[in-house]
Chains A and B, each alone.
Chain A
Amino acid sequence: MNISLLGIVGYLVGIAALVGLNAVILVWLERKVAGHMQFRLGPMEVGPHGILQTLADGIKLVSKQLVIPDEADKPLFLLAPIVSLVPIFAAMVPLPFSETVQAWELNIGLLLIIALGLLNTLGILLAGWGSNNKYALLGGARAVAQILAYKIPLLICVMTIIMMTGSFSLRDIAIAQKDTWNVLYQPILFIVYIITVTLETNRSPFDFSEAESELVAGFHTEYSGMGFSLFFLAEYSYMFIAAGLATVLFLGGWHGPWLPGVAWTLIKIYSIIFLMMWFRWTFPRVRIDQMLSFGWKILLPLSLINFIITAGVLAL
């Protein structure tokens, strides 16, 4: 496979546009969803139905001063948001939007995304450590504590799908679901996956590392302006990737009647994102130790049993 310089530049521009546009839409959508769930209208002033509100906020955030606390570990403090965001660009590479629309078909695409997802936690830990703030440190520590509790069930989920398809390639996995979506074979696994990615993206009810009523703002307590918005961008992009992965792994990728593949992919992705927003605005927050025991005592055995049963069925 040839990699031309032009191709890379084109890809980067495309991904940057996608990440930016996605964040703009999601922030607006989150506010609207929250608003309508709470008998409010959400943003209404900037643009029709407030569609440009996020842009206005973005301009505000960019123009704000970047405040670095005196006692902070400066290099780590500045590096953390970047470490959080940059893996996004790589993680979007193997994500197929339709049979033909895909940045680069990788035969280990799934593994790449899962591995890069871990870097988000590193960013949070760096921010928590570098801020020299006890709330931030607690947020960072929580992120690290929870990572094992959700990553293992998540990996077992993914392994089950790989076992069913026999390929690490996201494209192959999607093609394999041409007739029947995996969610029909693996409904329990789908639920486990949704729970674990909610954990991975630090979304409520598992938003321990920012938990504003407990830790003020957790790992990003000391961040303002662009640093804060990079974390935000990263969070929404991870949501997009997690939902994209769910689409490919469980919901048959681009397969669907009438509409073109890309449209189906986006519909599915945003439906899952809507589900995650729904969680956020209706569920209380779990306590961190309850989540850990839930991860180790319920999610892990459940996904493991599911894995073994699937293996048994496939062997027959």
Chain B
Amino acid sequence: MTRPISKTVNVPVADGDGERYTLKMGPQHPATHGVLRVDLELDGETIIKCSPQVGYLHRGFDKIAENRTYAQSLILTDRLDYIAAMANNVGYCVAVEKLLGISVPLRAKYIRTIVCEMSRIASHLLWLATHALDIGAMTVFLYCFREREVMLDLFEELCGARLTFSYPRIGGVRQDVTRSFIDVLQQFVAEFPVHIGEYETLIDTNRIWLKRTVGIGVLSAAEALELGLTGACLRGSGVDYDIRKHRPYDAYDLVDFEVPLSNDGDIYARYRCRMEELHQSARIIQQCIDQLPPGPIISEDAPDLVMPLQGQRKVEAGSSTYGTGLIRLLEEHGQYPVGDIYVSTEVPKGELGFYFISDGSGRPYRMHVRSPSFIHIGALPALAEGSMIADLIANIGTLDVVLGECDR
């Protein structure tokens, strides 16, 4: 398999007589989105060789999970992609539910879909903010943070946390949405397209922005597939692949939305895809609010982490052995199936997959997280080699990586 060669060679590649030098960009660098280090071999400002170095944030989640019950590992997923923790939580829960064969009540499905899309909005806003900041447009940053703040406030109202939520539960969600939550969200969703227009006025047709993004970091559909890209990076190259559409989970098959595509495969195409996704997210949230059915928010089979299901299973002092689903499931080994399973969901960054090998013990024998950021960073050399330092920064931004998820 040959590595795809980027088509971005729009600056003369070094003729060999220039003096080359190395530059270790990061891990302390304003534009490497965390602790990414990129070892660059440069000729002037042209990148001859680019090799990303990851692992500065490695915490060994895959291993830690082996020593915890399925319910306990939920909090680890908060720390994967901390920009969109809610989507990771949901992804993990969907995977474990599939493993354990738990069916989720419809209301919980809708609430999860809402929070997933809110999370996508929050994540894409942060992506746009930092991507524009990397390319030098500073004001977009605060425009985006203004709306992102509304999302975080709503999350805080929903579950008390702004960053690491652990709100969804295996089998449902922790708490029901409140009236005021729905009201604020409804208002936000109605106004949001106007705000998207505001970001676009700053950069969408700005000649400098176009110069920096159009035709830069081009990946054809075949190259993008070969590199294993998912999410907007893949859809920007024209491949119609969205797990929400093709392997629907939660309430995604009950709502109507489009998957934005672009055939250009450059930074601008990926930018446009994500901007359209913001519109679609708002649309999905609106539909979910309209359709939100009454009913329970968590399945009765749910292995709850701390809180017993209020009103349904009582915890009595002294006899709490079977008080919580967690302990119940732990004790009754037979409830855990044996085998392996891979379940993926569409998080803002791309395809987040969880692979479990279950030996029936109540703890995963092996858990593997397929994190989109890790795979996307692998595409960086293909995008950046032959281009300039300024393009490297734009390319890191367009891949939308979060190092917490990459290093795990």
Q: Are B136 and A204 in contact (CB under 8 A)?
A: yes
A285 contacts across to B, CB distance below 8 A = 135-137, 208, 212, 390
13 more A-B residue pairs beyond the given contacts A214-B390, A283-B137, with a C-beta to C-beta distance below 8 A: A141-B44, A142-B45, A211-B390, A216-B30, A280-B138, A281-B138, A285-B135, A285-B137, A287-B212, A287-B388, A287-B390, A288-B45, A288-B390
Q: Are B139 and A38 in contact (CB under 8 A)?
A: yes
Q: Top 10 A-B pairs ranked by shortest CB distance?
A: A285-B136, A38-B142, A284-B137, A213-B31, A284-B136, A284-B135, A213-B134, A287-B390, A284-B208, A284-B209
A215 contacts across to B, CB distance below 8 A = 389
Q: Are A213 and B133 in contact (CB under 8 A)?
A: yes
B208 contacts across to A, CB distance below 8 A = 205, 283-286
In the bound complex, CA of A54 to CA of B322 (Å): 65
Task: Tell me how far the C-beta of A67 lies from the nearest C-beta in chain B, rounded to whole angstroms.
Answer: 16
Q: Are B388 and A282 in contact (CB under 8 A)?
A: no
| Residue B202 lies at the interface, judged by CB distance under 8 Å to chain A | yes
Q: Are B212 and A286 in contact (CB under 8 A)?
A: yes
Beta-carbon contacts under 8 Å, B125-148 to A = 132-139, 141-143, 146
| Residue A99 lies at the interface, judged by CB distance under 8 Å to chain B | no
Give the interface residue-count category, chain B.
Answer: 20 to 34
- Which of B44, B203, B389 has the most chain A CB atoms inside 10 A of its CB? B389
| Residue B29 lies at the interface, judged by CB distance under 8 Å to chain A | yes
- Of A34, A141, A283, A289, the residue contacting B136 (CB under 8 A) is A283
Q: Which residue of B lies closest to A208 (CB)?
A: B390
Interface of A is mostly: helix
CB-CB contacts of A108-141 with B at 8 A, as 1s and 0s?
Answer: 0000000000000000000000000011001001
A40 contacts across to B, CB distance below 8 A = 142
Q: Are B212 and A284 in contact (CB under 8 A)?
A: yes
B31 contacts across to A, CB distance below 8 A = 213-214
Task: Tell me how far the C-beta of B48 lies from the nearest C-beta in chain A, rounded to whole angstroms.
Answer: 15
Give the interface residue-count category, chain A.
Answer: 20 to 34
A37 contacts across to B, CB distance below 8 A = 139
| Residue A290 lies at the interface, judged by CB distance under 8 Å to chain B | yes
B138 contacts across to A, CB distance below 8 A = 34, 38, 204, 280-281
In the bound complex, CA of A211 to CA of B133 (Å): 11
Residue positions of A touching B, CB distance < 8 A: 34, 37-40, 134-135, 138, 141-142, 204-205, 207, 211-216, 280-290
B132 contacts across to A, CB distance below 8 A = 284
- What are 30 A-B contacts with C-beta separation under 8 Å? A39-B142, A39-B143, A141-B44, A204-B136, A204-B138, A211-B390, A213-B31, A213-B134, A213-B135, A213-B136, A214-B31, A214-B390, A215-B389, A216-B30, A281-B139, A282-B202, A283-B137, A283-B206, A284-B132, A284-B135, A284-B136, A284-B203, A285-B135, A286-B208, A287-B390, A288-B45, A288-B390, A289-B11, A289-B388, A290-B211
Beta-carbon contacts under 8 Å, B72-118 to A = none
- Of B30, B203, B209, the residue contacting A213 (CB under 8 A) is B30
B211 contacts across to A, CB distance below 8 A = 286-287, 290
B142 contacts across to A, CB distance below 8 A = 38-40
Q: Are B393 and A213 in contact (CB under 8 A)?
A: yes
- Which of A205, A207, A212, A284 has the most chain B CB atoms inside 10 A of its CB? A284
| Residue B21 lies at the interface, judged by CB distance under 8 Å to chain A | yes
| Residue B391 lies at the interface, judged by CB distance under 8 Å to chain A | yes
| Residue B23 lies at the interface, judged by CB distance under 8 Å to chain A | yes
Q: Which residue of B lies closest to A38 (CB)?
A: B142
In the bound complex, CA of A40 to CA of B145 (Å): 11
In the bound complex, CA of A104 to CA of B146 (Å): 51
A212 contacts across to B, CB distance below 8 A = 30
Q: Are B23 and A282 in contact (CB under 8 A)?
A: no
A282 contacts across to B, CB distance below 8 A = 137, 139, 202
Beta-carbon contacts under 8 Å, B1-19 to A = 11
In the bound complex, CA of A40 to CA of B142 (Å): 9
Q: Are A134 and B23 in contact (CB under 8 A)?
A: yes
Q: Are A38 and B390 in contact (CB under 8 A)?
A: no
In the bound complex, CA of A291 to CA of B138 (Å): 19
In the bound complex, CA of A280 to CA of B136 (Å): 9
In the bound complex, CA of A282 to CA of B140 (Å): 8
Task: Tell me how far the C-beta of B27 lies from the nearest C-beta in chain A, rounded to whole angstroms.
Answer: 12
A284 contacts across to B, CB distance below 8 A = 132, 135-137, 203, 206, 208-209, 212
In the bound complex, CA of A163 to CA of B297 (Å): 80
Task: Tell me how far the C-beta of A219 lies from the nearest C-beta in chain B, rounded to whole angstroms.
Answer: 15
In the bound complex, CA of A122 to CA of B23 (Å): 24
In the bound complex, CA of A289 to CA of B11 (Å): 8
Q: Which residue of A lies closest to B203 (CB)?
A: A284
Task: Tell me how far the C-beta of A273 lies from the nearest C-beta in chain B, rounded to whole angstroms.
Answer: 18
In the bound complex, CA of A141 to CA of B133 (Å): 23
- Which of A138, A285, A288 has the most chain B CB atoms inside 10 A of its CB? A285
